[in-house]
Amino acid sequence: MPTESVTTETILRLSEKVSLQPLGEGEGGVILRLDTGELYTVNDTALSFVGALDGTRTFAGSVRIVAEEYEVELDELTRDLTEIAEDLLSSKLVEQVG
């Protein structure tokens, strides 16, 4: 399956066939694909990132939200979250808007 490319201007949202559930403070969360029943676990950082994918803000805007929450270096976080976003896209857990 080809990898879908994510840029700073890409706008993403959760797929309508997905449910995101936090597990509790420091426990991360799970993403459930409602059409297949598959569960994906995410750590707290990825949970915050996925939660920021509201279909209105850019990828860069979502990364900034996570960077402010966790006080991490923006360039490294952008690289890490780009990889995660591309994996989420290829797994059909998120979709591009527009």
Superfamily of domain 11-93: Coenzyme PQQ synthesis protein D (PqqD) (1.10.10.1150)
CB atoms within 10 A of CB 31: 22
Of 55, 66, 56, 67, which is closest to residue 94 (Cα–Cα)?
A: 55
Report the pLDDT averaged over residues 27-36.
96
Q: What is the pTM of this model?
A: 0.90
pLDDT score at 3 = 60
pLDDT digits (tens, 9 = 90+) for 54-88: 999 999 999 999 999 998 899 999 999 999 999 99
Higher-pLDDT residue of 80, 25: 80
pLDDT at 2 over 70: no
Report the pLDDT averaged over residues 12-39.
95
Helix (H, G, I), strand (E, B) or coil at 96: strand
DSSP 8-state assignment for residue 24: S
